[in-house]
Amino acid sequence: MDTGGNSLPSGTDGVKRKVCYFYDPEVGNYYYGQGHPMKPHRIRMTHALLAHYGLLQNMQVLKPFPARERDLCRFHADDYVSFLRSITPETQQDQLRQLKRFNVGEDCPVFDGLFSFCQTYAGGSVGGAVKLNHGLCDIAINWAGGLHHAKKCEASGFCYVNDIVLAILELLKQHERVLYVDIDIHHGDGVEEAFYTTDRVMTVSFHKFGDYFPGTGDIRDIGYSKGKFYSLNVPLDDGIDDESYHYLFKPIIGKVMEVFRPGAVVLQCGADSLSGDRLGCFNLSIKGHAECVKFMRSFNVPLLLLGGGGYTIRNVARCWCYETGVALGVEVDDKMPQHEYYEYFGPDYTLHVAPSNMENKNSRQLLEEIRNKLLEYLSKLQHAPSVQFQERPPDSELPEADEDQEDGDERWDPDSDMDVDDERKSLPNRVKREAVEPEQKDREGLKGMAEQARGFDMIADDSISTKVGLKHARSDMK
């Protein structure tokens, strides 16, 4: 059913929400390689903070069931998924042509357990969408997800599988309209591309724009055909602070919620927009970043919270721990409890860190121009689109397990008609564990820019009414 945008049973914003939290204990074992800024270990650090702050007892903690090949192929090309499943560090030298074709190698390296990693983080995001669709929680959280750069046929920007697109496709089975909001410092290009020609998904991305990866996300990029005005981009400059960010975020998102009336919202909470991120250049505090979560929560619409970027990992863990508290309606203490990663957080051992004194290059005049332009775009959408449901796939069942449950068969809903994938094995022991070490300087060798966003085939999915094979001209491609 379509919720119409305001029907959670939990009541007003001050009331507690029912929260489902997805976590696989193995996720922190995956390792992109020496010197690579993406460190899945940050998810384990976040989980440790949640445990020691006592937040886990306030949520339903679920181990995601790994996404299967056929699940991934709802968006991604079959041959690309096949490649991800088969490639290993030992065999990659024999597949150089394929590596180049699928953009795997430098920013997106081959590492031990790569496909299992993709299955795990995608499984959490789709599992969260399924829980929301069944009305079993108000907010679902998967901090391992949010990998927004992955394209239909290629990896990009440390992302291999676009769990966000897969989760949105799941939500579209139950909701006529889904809103995607992205507060990562990088443009959410993979998600925007996937839904660029439909009015059933609105994408809103707040990001650094200029000489910065991935180079897309101009304010003039607003969608195409039926999707015109359903993609919004908020291009920002270095040093933006909390006040300037919310000067844009709150009126724009407020108007989006009023006009688009989504049945569900997906919020990508990339923490590389925080002050002091090793790859970022914004100046948001943790509370300023979390204010976006608090604002989205206030609309009382089913909400999926996902991770994303974030490369100063002690601050990523701080941020996502605090935002879990926001989701729960719990204020967590600034003084950090003792836990296994306590040494990462010295010398202050506090949850919050002060922003820097870097210059804010976003003038009030620039912010006003951006705000006025985007509100003008939104004024062209008189009301929520009238979308008839197409014939759609049957609802997904609920394969996720409680974290402590050991019997794999009992993970499944007893009424489920989905088959257990017996070929799935647990993460092999040869996967490297990342040592507890200080963060290294950025690798100069990492690519700064990926190939500009290309044309794409519209998703072949029954829940999307339009299928387009189109090369759309993007105004930011010079």
Strand, coil or helix: 306: strand
- CA torsion sign, 372 to 375 to 380 to 382? negative
The dihedral over CA atoms of 343, 348, 350, 351, expressed in degrees to the nearest 10, equals -80
Burial label for 403, CB within 10 Å (0-12, 13-18, 19+), is middle
* Residue 186 in marked binding region: yes
Which residue, chain included where needed, has tokens 């794999």? 408
The gap from C-alpha 351 to its chain's centroid, in whole angstroms, comes to 22
Q: Give the 3-state secondary structure of residue 146.
A: coil
Is residue 225 exposed (0-12), middle (13-18) or buried (19+ Cβ within 10 Å)?
Answer: middle
Q: Is 36 a catalytic residue?
A: no
Cα gap 163→98, rounded to integer Å: 22
Q: Tell me: is residue 215 an annotated ligand-binding position.
A: no
Give me 297's structure tokens: 């929560």
Q: Which two tokens stand for residue 195?
A: 């839904």
223 marked as part of a ligand binding site: no
Residue 107 is given by DSSP the state S
Shortest CA distance to 205 belongs to which of 177, 232, 242?
A: 232
Per-residue DSSP letters for 374-423? HHHHHHT--S----PPPP-PPPP----EETT---GGGGS-TT--PPP-TT
344 belongs to an annotated ligand binding site? no
d(CA 199, CA 370): 22
Catalytic hit among 36, 76, 149, 187: 149
3-state secondary structure of 91: coil
Residues belonging to the binding site for a divalent metal cation are: 184, 186, 272
Q: Which residues are catalytic?
A: 149
Residues belonging to the binding site are: 107, 157, 184, 186, 272, 311
Residues belonging to the binding site for substrate are: 107, 157, 311
